Amino acid sequence: MSTSDAALAIPSPSRSFWNGDYGLRAWLTTRDHKRIAILYALGITGFFFLGGAAATLIRVNLIEPTGSLLTAETYNKAFTFHGVVMVWFFLIPSIPATLGNFLLPLMIGARDVAFPRLNLASWYLYICGGLFAVASLLAGGVDTGWTFYTPFSTMFSNSNVFLVVIGVFVTGFASILTGLNFIVTIHTLRMPRMTWYRLPLFVWTMYAVSLVMVLATPVLAMTLALIALERLAHLGIFDPALGGDPLLFQHLFWFYSHPAVYIMILPAMGVVSEIIPCFVRRRIFGYRFMTYSILAITVIGFMVWGHHMFVAGQSMYASLVFSIMSFIVAVPSAIKVFNWTATLRKGAITFEAPMLYALGFIGLFMLGGLTGLMLAAPALDIPLTDTYFVVAHFHYVMVGGSVMAYLGGIHYWWPKITGKLYSEGWARAAAILMFFGFNLTFFPQYILGYEGMPRRYHSYLPDFQVLNVLSSAGASILALAYLLPVAYLLWSLRAGAAAGNNPWNARGLEWQTTSPPPKENFLSEPIVREAYAYDEPAP
């Protein structure tokens, strides 16, 4: 692109959504989905590094078998802090609330989401709930783990459980309202000719994830409210002293928290489905099957929660059914992996930073998914329950999967969001560092778990030390790899070259508007075609 073209491509300052009202007040009262996405991104990044700090404490503590850095009690509080913050305040909102908020209206050619004020209200709920919970976690600490299992959480743990549960409860409503907003937006605000089967797969995953948020989160909210009531008003539905059922809590909790895994992974799949066709210059393989498998994961994902409870005392027959359903839900996930791989075949693959993240995602998600199948079989799960094997499995899915895809998406759409190009060399270096750092951190944990090291203890047998040291070493590389993007992305805001409207020569409506987009999203009506029309020239 020549300099004169680049100059033309940069919108006049007043046109970009970043400009206009600069003040803090204008930002905190904005109804623009793009600004709300930026607000979410700031919050989410903050929580990510807070959760990461707790993870650092854990990994440093586990360098030596005696675990002398933290006492057993502080260690429990550290992993609870890590889990609560990472799951509820980072992973759940990460892709939907930032990239989803920013891109969903752009991708369907809308001016905003259906309910912009509700969108802003969701952010306030999120940030207030999050800060409240973090303050309570720091003030006294909670040692229940992120799952708040009864009767420990209701009868024995300290009273901060109540406060943290309230924080998570409030943030749950942010999730519900975002889901509601997205569902209505996708149904009613698609521009003319943007039919369902022309939607980018990212929008399909946003739709699916919104369904899960809307249908599962209320169950969590009510369950947490019941814990709060049991602590506050002694309405002890889960209280075993009365004959109440602590196992009921686990059922209700996992009825949400297993679908929540799909809240984390479906958007990641959507991001990867956008990135891969762009850097292969091909249509995505099996578009329709991709949409069907997204829906299949959504529906079947609601019927597998019992695989978290194989050792909790549920009936053998229930375990059998949940085990079979868990194997079945792996089929549509596998279809997606096959389709991404088939898209690569005979493509003109280039390895820009977003593509490196996407390819990393496929590899790590596959390992996470396959070990998930091992855990879906009760015969294997029973000996592996509460070992590091489980820890490694869900970190491969959530960190190796969701976080890699989130960062891939941030890199892919960064030029669109900010109008600036980051340093490609640094970005590739960070992506590669992250892949190796991640594997060094978590692959040893598979072996540790297989050898029988239990999770959630601050000390361990000396035999396990070599692998734990490897894991902690990997964690330090991973920490560096997470800090790098902060540095070069921020630097790009200052010194990055202008991105132009479509630096990747990608398809999709969001690339037809200026970078960054104007407040009203499109200055002229975008041209709608089939998704991923990489065999046709850009409009």
Partner 1 sequence: MNVLSQNVALAASAPMVSEQYDDARQQREAATLGMWVFLATEILFFGVLFASYTILRVLYPQGFAVASRHTDMLFGTIETGVLLSSSCLIALAVRAVKLDQHRVAVWLLSATAMLGVTFLVMHGFEYYKEYTEHLIPGIDFKQPAPRAHAVELFFCLYYCITGFHSLHVTIGVIVIVVLAVRVKNATFGSQRYTYPELTALYWHLVDIVWIFVYPLLYLVGRSG
Q: What is the smallest separation between the CB atom of 212 and partner 1, expressed in angstroms?
A: 12
Q: Which is nearer to partner 1, 224 or 405 (CB)?
A: 224
Residue 221 interacting with partner 1 (CB under 8 A): yes
Amino acid at 338: F
- Applying CB under 8 A, the span of 59-67, 228-236, 325-333, 409-417 interacting with partner 1 comes to 228-236
Among 128, 184, 342, 349, which residue sits at the site for partner 1 (rule: CB under 8 A)? Answer: 184
Q: Enumerate residues 85-114 that contact partner 1 by CB under 8 A.
A: 105, 110-114
Q: Which is nearer to partner 1, 57 or 176 (CB)?
A: 176
Q: Which is nearer to partner 1, 224 or 355 (CB)?
A: 224
Q: What is the smallest separation between the CB atom of 356 and partner 1, expressed in angstroms?
A: 36
Residue 313 interacting with partner 1 (CB under 8 A): no
Q: Which tokens belong to 26?
A: 């204008």
Residue 348 interacting with partner 1 (CB under 8 A): no
Among 121, 245, 457, 469, which residue sits at the site for partner 1 (rule: CB under 8 A)? Answer: 245
Q: What is the smallest separation between the CB atom of 324 and partner 1, expressed in angstroms?
A: 22
- Applying CB under 8 A, the span of 225-233, 276-284, 296-304, 448-456 interacting with partner 1 comes to 225-233
d(CA 245, CA 65): 37
Q: What is the smallest separation between the CB atom of 165 and partner 1, expressed in angstroms?
A: 15
Residue 15 interacting with partner 1 (CB under 8 A): no
DSSP state at residue 521: S
Among 219, 294, 309, 329, which residue sits at the site for partner 1 (rule: CB under 8 A)? Answer: 219
Q: What is the smallest separation between the CB atom of 184 and partner 1, expressed in angstroms?
A: 5
d(CA 196, CA 48): 34
Question: Angle 388-395/424-450 helices, nearest 10 degrees?
Answer: 160
Residue 215 interacting with partner 1 (CB under 8 A): yes
d(CA 171, CA 217): 10
Amino acid at 331: V
- Applying CB under 8 A, the span of 93-101, 244-252, 270-278, 285-293 interacting with partner 1 comes to 244-252
Element (H, E) at 206: helix 201-233
Sign of CA dihedral 521, 98, 538, 10: positive
Per-residue binder mask for partner 1 (CB under 8 A), 506-525, x = binder:
--------------x-----
Among 53, 60, 155, 183, which residue sits at the site for partner 1 (rule: CB under 8 A)? Answer: 183
Residue 344 interacting with partner 1 (CB under 8 A): no
d(CA 235, CA 144): 20
Neighbours of 531 (CB within 10 A): 25
Element (H, E) at 124: helix 116-139
Neighbours of 215 (CB within 10 A): 16
Contacts of 385 (CB under 8 A, 6+ apart): 310, 311
Q: What is the smallest separation between the CB atom of 13 and partner 1, expressed in angstroms?
A: 22
Short-list 267, 63, 239, 263, CA closest to 151? 239
DSSP state at residue 14: G
d(CA 165, CA 178): 20
Residue 115 interacting with partner 1 (CB under 8 A): yes
Contacts of 523 (CB under 8 A, 6+ apart): 15, 513, 514
Among 107, 174, 226, 475, which residue sits at the site for partner 1 (rule: CB under 8 A)? Answer: 226
Residue 24 interacting with partner 1 (CB under 8 A): no
Q: What is the smallest separation between the CB atom of 46 and partner 1, expressed in angstroms?
A: 28
Q: What is the smallest separation between the CB atom of 149 and partner 1, expressed in angstroms?
A: 16
How far out from the chain centre does Cα 151 lie? 29
Question: In whole angstroms, how far apart are CA 411 and each of 97, 103, 356, 415?
Answer: 16, 14, 10, 8
Residue 248 interacting with partner 1 (CB under 8 A): yes
Short-list 58, 87, 275, 266, CA closest to 167? 87
Q: Which is nearer to partner 1, 214 or 410 (CB)?
A: 214
Q: Which is nearer to partner 1, 37 or 356 (CB)?
A: 37
Residue 379 interacting with partner 1 (CB under 8 A): no
Q: What is the C-alpha end-to-end distance of the chain, expressed in Å?
A: 16
d(CA 97, CA 270): 14
Q: How many residues bind partner 1 (CB under 8 A)?
A: 42
205: left (phi over 0), alpha (psi -120 to 50) or beta: alpha
Q: Which tokens belong to 411?
A: 């890199």
Q: Which is nearer to partner 1, 221 or 304 (CB)?
A: 221
Among 7, 28, 138, 235, which residue sits at the site for partner 1 (rule: CB under 8 A)? Answer: 235
- Applying CB under 8 A, the span of 222-230, 272-280, 408-416, 446-454 interacting with partner 1 comes to 222-230
Contacts to partner 1 by CB under 8 A: 105, 110-116, 176, 179-181, 183-185, 187-189, 214-219, 221-223, 226, 229, 233-237, 241-245, 248, 252, 520
